[in-house]
Amino acid sequence: MTSMERKMADPAAAATVRCDACPVMCNIRPGLAGACDRYANADGQLVRVDPLVLLDAAKAQGAPVVAFQSEGEWDGRLVRGAETFVTAIGAGTTYPDYKPAPFIVSTEVDGVDMVTVVTEGVFSYCGVKIKIDTDRHLGPERAMVRVQGEPVGHVTTGEYGSQMLSLGGVGHLTGGSKKEGRVTCETLLALSNLQPVELVIDDGATVVVQAGAAPIVNGVPETKMRVGCGSATIGIFAPQWLGKVDEVVVVDDHITGVLSEHQAGKLLDIPPTGIRMRGRRSTPGRYFQVANPGTGWGGTDISDPLSILEPFDPKHAKPGLSMLMVSTTGEHFAYYELDEALRPVERPMPAPLADSVARISENCEPALCSVLFIGGAGGSLRAGVTDNPVRLTQSVSHGVTRLTCGGAPVYLWPGGGITFMVDVTKLPENAFGYVPTPALVAPIEFTMPLTRYAAMGGYVDHVRPASSLDPSAPHRRVAQPPDNPWPLTPLAVPDAP
Ligand code: SF4
């Protein structure tokens, strides 16, 4: 029996459709979706499950001024003009890559014909960079980050008031076990779509990360991002302590500050107090490694701040000398006075010092998790834009072609290729998808003048006016976030290639 005869004998088989939007090539039976849930078989037709997302200019930066009667005059078209942007969210993917992108649409903007090439790119080379605002030690640099026991990334450098993680990348997606690749893909997808994920760090903490939300470290929500390191805190608040206390120690895992020794104290003529610190003295009033990293005071492992002090030097110390010890967020604080034996004894905090601690806390910003998706668009997906891919790379790097991700602005890395990062909170919700190869699917739009598109070898035969898109096609209108620049605005670099 031939394949045609088999199909005629089995109506269900006859209605099965093959999805060719990615290398998996699913055969999808009627009423079902493919492996990624992005495509389905609707009455024998292959359809993209999610609606196409259109951005409305609203109050976005640089957006065209919409006439007052514009809404009333609307003629029913899907795209009304330069105040609507067709994103790649829900647009679909073409495969193999040399097929022109699913949508190549033109729009007139201020008398210039602009083209936007729209596709949902499949990224095997992608990941997320995470910034977690916390003083607490999450894990040693290079420690593995795990989800469901699988390695999905690692701890990278600590930055100012934040711990950084690097998750995903082609190594975890393709270079480990099948389960590692799957769990990595799930993790990246959830984080990119603003969902919370519990990350377990080897020899470190368990952190719940969600873009735009406070991190939860070992079950405790973080509230404050430090005002600065211990030294910076001394530099900021030294004048406010003058005359109210003899000594201040700002406890910090990285740089603990000591007022009387610090240049800020010297310039205010604060006399020596005989304080002696543990750890390694870097420069006057700045100490490294006063304790081990941890989740206690100032990101150290201590709960008793006196544990970072050696006995006071009797040459300068005297009974009754007062001392404030405080962490870089103002979360931990204590006040001491020296007794007759020059031992610090905790006393009730004087009101003026309590005010200064409150001022430190007031100057701390809310602790948040930031998630940046990073992907390489300099590979084969360029072939869906032009038959000469390097011209697209050059056009993007010269600022003629604007690259957006779901209409959101991106940061382009210098150097070769088209490697970009985007803040996932700037995209419409559920903008990312996946395919089980495994890889992430991210929306990508390239916008440029039509003349430049033709010059780079673009698929001009496939350009169609955005206003001709079928208004009955499933779609979702979303207001462009006001902080995002309007993606259709031409970039002003007239002589670039
Ligand atoms: S995984 Fe999704 S995109 Fe890939 S072939 Fe299957 S249904 Fe199509």
* pLDDT tens figures, 197-252: 999 999 999 999 999 999 999 999 999 999 999 999 999 999 999 999 999 999 99
381: left (phi over 0), alpha (psi -120 to 50) or beta: alpha
Contacts for 110 with CB less than 8 Å, ≥ 6 apart: 64, 82, 490
Question: Does ligand 1 have an atom closer than 6 angstroms to the CB of 36?
Answer: yes
pLDDT in tens, 310-326: 999 999 999 999 999 99
Instruction: Give the atom of ligand 1 at the shortest distance from the alpha carbon of 40.
Output: 7
Give the pair of three-digit tokens for residue 349: 């905090």
CA 129–ligand 1 middle distance (angstroms)? 27
Maximal CA-CA distance, the chain: 103
pLDDT in tens, 270-312: 999 999 999 999 999 999 999 999 989 999 999 999 999 999 9
Give the pair of three-digit tokens for residue 188: 């990246």
Q: Are 362 and 284 in contact (CB under 8 A)?
A: no
pLDDT of residue 449 exceeding 90: yes
Classify strands 322-327 and 247-251 as parallel, antiparallel or unpaired. parallel
Question: Does ligand 1 have an atom closer than 6 angstroms to the CB of 22?
Answer: yes
Angle between helices 230-241 and 351-362 (to 10 degrees): 140
How does the average pLDDT of the chain come out, rounded? Answer: 92
Q: Best of 26, 99, 120 to mutate for ligand 1, by most ligand atoms within 8 A of CB?
A: 26
CA 93–ligand 1 middle distance (angstroms)? 9
pLDDT of residue 262 exceeding 70: yes
Question: Does ligand 1 have an atom closer than 6 angstroms to the CB of 39?
Answer: yes
Please tell me the predicted confidence (pLDDT) of residue 380: 87
Question: Does ligand 1 have an atom closer than 6 angstroms to the CB of 48?
Answer: no
Give the pair of three-digit tokens for residue 489: 């605005």
Other CB atoms closer than 10 Å to residue 286's CB: what's the count?
24
* Phi, psi (degrees; rounded to nearest 5) at 43: 55, 45
Please tell me the predicted confidence (pLDDT) of residue 75: 65
Please tell me the predicted confidence (pLDDT) of residue 8: 45
pLDDT of residue 9 exceeding 60: no
Question: Does ligand 1 have an atom closer than 6 angstroms to the CB of 25?
Answer: yes
pLDDT of residue 343 exceeding 50: yes
Instruction: Give the atom of ligand 1 at the shortest distance from the alpha carbon of 436.
Output: 1
Question: Does ligand 1 have an atom closer than 6 angstroms to the CB of 32?
Answer: no
Taking residues 448-462, what's their average pLDDT?
95
Q: Best of 16, 17, 25, 38 to mutate for ligand 1, by most ligand atoms within 8 A of CB?
A: 38
Other CB atoms closer than 10 Å to residue 302's CB: what's the count?
19
Question: Does ligand 1 have an atom closer than 6 angstroms to the CB of 458?
Answer: no
For residues 459 and 15, give the distance between their C-alpha atoms in angstroms, rounded to a whole number.
32
From the list 208, 186, 183, the residue with the least C-alpha distance to 196 is 208
Give the pair of three-digit tokens for residue 206: 């368990």
For residues 104 and 271, give the distance between their C-alpha atoms in angstroms, rounded to a whole number.
72
Question: Does ligand 1 have an atom closer than 6 angstroms to the CB of 24?
Answer: yes
pLDDT of residue 95 exceeding 90: no
pLDDT of residue 58 exceeding 80: no
Q: Which amino acid is residue 438, in one-letter code?
A: P
Output the residue whose Cα is nearest ligand 1's atom 2: 36
Give the gyration radius of the chain's Cα atoms.
Answer: 29
Question: Does ligand 1 have an atom closer than 6 angstroms to the CB of 101?
Answer: no
For residues 472 and 479, give the distance between their C-alpha atoms in angstroms, rounded to a whole number.
20
Q: Are 228 and 250 in contact (CB under 8 A)?
A: no
Instruction: Give the atom of ligand 1 at the shortest distance from the alpha carbon of 435.
Output: 1
Q: Are 244 and 356 in contact (CB under 8 A)?
A: yes
Give the pair of three-digit tokens for residue 79: 């795209």
The percent of residues in the chain predicted with pLDDT above 70, rounded, is 93
Question: Does ligand 1 have an atom closer than 6 angstroms to the CB of 92?
Answer: no
pLDDT in tens, 363-409: 999 999 999 999 998 888 899 999 999 999 999 999 999 999 999 99
Question: Does ligand 1 have an atom closer than 6 angstroms to the CB of 17?
Answer: no
Question: Which residue matches tokens 């870097």?
Answer: 282
Give the pair of three-digit tokens for residue 12: 């269900």
For residues 497 and 75, give the distance between their C-alpha atoms in angstroms, rounded to a whole number.
38
**Cis preceding linkage at 438, omega within 30:** yes
pLDDT of residue 425 exceeding 80: yes
CA 371–ligand 1 middle distance (angstroms)? 26
Q: Best of 39, 46, 47, 119 to mutate for ligand 1, by most ligand atoms within 8 A of CB?
A: 39
Helices (H), 160-224: 170-174, 178-192
Q: What is the DSSP letter of 77?
A: -
pTM for this prediction: 0.89
